[in-house]
Structure 1
Amino acid sequence: MEISDKAKKSMESLGLTNYEIRVYTSLLFASSNTASEISKKSGVPYSKIYDVLNSLYVRGWIYSDNQRPQNFFPKSPSNAVEAMMIEMENNLRSNKNVIINELMPIYEKTGLKEKPDIWVVSGLYNIAIKVTEIIRSTKEELLIAIPKIPENVVKSIQPVLRELAEKGVKIIILASDETNSDTVKAMSRVAEVRLKNDMFGGGVIGDSRHVLILLGEGKNDPTTTSSYDTIAIWAEHTGLASFAKDYFQYLWQDAKK
């Protein structure tokens, strides 16, 4: 028996080699084995088998007895993965401290400050394209605040939102309390929705990283010379997205379910 390619790739992503995966899975199906037996069943050369077994032992994937010849046994996958996660977290923490302690003083001496790229997006069509890009790229959490939601807009994004919801993406929508009840009902099928009065502006936040903030609804009055397009700002920056998310959550707490 063999494990799926998906499981193999997941094990590889944790840092296990092809030999280590073959040895561990052969033990799963055989329960216990000597080194020579493991070599035959896994296809790992005998000259390499002890190095592979030792690596798996150190990483917490297998254990052995004190018999002669020595027998090797698989640990439960859940315990093995947990042990690797702890090891990776410890390594990450250690490397983080080394990098920050040595490089931050150098960075601070330069006097440089990180400047996020912020783009101005004008026109409903261009804004709609950017909003759709953010929605489609979201993997975990999508926050949407819309003061006015035209029915045609809801119909156009409904399939995309449904697709995200089916993938397990958390979708939260804050809308004006003047929103049509049918529209609210349609959005509620794929998202958690709350209504709020006196909403000004709006925006979209994807995965606490991508943010688009609507600054104005535009104006085109033929009776005057004053006119301007709908304008929004867009950025891919965790700091700005975090600020926008905090404000969204502030409005959310005060909104009606």
Structure 2
Amino acid sequence: MSSELRSNLEDIGLSLYESKVYLSLLQLCSATMRELSEKSEVPYQKIYEVTRSLENKGLIKIIEGKPKRVKIIDPSIALKTYKDKIMSRFDNSISKIISFWSKERKGDTERSLHVAGKRTIIKIIKEFMEKSRKVKIVYDKPPEWLVRMIKQYKGDLTFITSQNIDINAKIKLVKDIQSRFIIFDDSLLVTFNKNEEGDEIIIDSCRGCIIQASEHFDLLINSIIPKKEIQL
């Protein structure tokens, strides 16, 4: 249950450390910084930064004193307020990113954007998929949300993966893939990263980056013998 709840918390935009701390407070209700660090297994040198971030989100309250304590705010109230706040921010951010893509794909300016948070990433990829006629994907073991998008996609899609998936697309199975990226309409590159703070993507309109990714994609398609190839 703990891992499922932690995943739920990451779905609403909390980082890995924030999710661990908030999940611990759901169980403890109130704790000192030291107790919270031990319960959540978040390094003590990080616990002040993480709790301050959660307080800024309106989810917890830091009580000054010696020692400092942290108290959870009623989730039925705090999470609803947080939801309203982040939905407004998500919509605004996504509009700006889509605008960035629309403008940059028409010019030669080389720029990149870093976007963090699973929920935001899912929304952005969904928007890009809906607006693209051709998509190239390299992903060793794609998450379920990406598989669902691939199945719903109606355009020209080529997918290189190490996992056998039943989808209506051109698929090539390749062992030991190290890269994770998507190329949209040969004009935008999204690279997936994973770090201790959670999911992150880098959105590039840089022609050199797109060409390099396309060349890597072509090498995987043409040069490596797949375990199994399906052409639908």
Give the TM interval when normalised to the shorter protein. Answer: 0.3 to 0.5
Higher relative contact order (CA 8 A, sep 6+): 2
Asked which structure has the greater CA Rg, the reply is 1
TM-score with structure 1 length normalisation? 0.42
